[in-house]
Amino acid sequence: KNSQNIIVDSKTGKNHVVESFKVDKKKIILAPFEPPSYLNKSKIINIYKKYKIPKNEFIFYPAQFWEHKNHINLIKAFNLLQKEMNKVNLVLVGTEKNNLINVKQEIINLNLSKKIFILGYVDEKDMYSFYKKASLTCFVSFCGPTNIPPLEAMYTGCPLICSDVYGMRNQVKNGGIFVNPKSYEDIYKKILILLKNKKLQNQINKNGFKIIQKNKKNNFLKSLD
Encode pLDDT of 83-107 as tens digits.
999 999 999 999 999 999 999 999 9
| pLDDT for residue 217 is more than 90 | no
Tens digit of each residue's pLDDT (9 = 90 or more) over 145-162: 999 999 999 999 999 999
Q: Are 86 and 124 in contact (CB under 8 A)?
A: no
Q: Are 134 and 48 in contact (CB under 8 A)?
A: no
**219: Cβ–Cβ under 8 A, 6 or more apart, which residues?**
34
* DSSP letters for 46-89: -HHHHTT--SS-EEEEE----GGG-HHHHHHHHHHHTTT-TT-E
Q: Quick check: helix, strand or coil at residue 136?
A: strand
How many whole angstroms separate alpha carbon 59 and alpha carbon 72?
15
Helix ranges restricted to H, 82-159? 100-109, 124-133, 149-156
- Give per-residue burial for 46-85: e unless 16+ CB within 10 Å, then b: ebeeebebeeeebbbbbbbbbeebbbbbbbbbbbebeeee
| pLDDT for residue 172 is more than 80 | yes
Tens digit of each residue's pLDDT (9 = 90 or more) over 107-148: 999 999 999 999 999 999 999 999 999 999 999 999 999 999
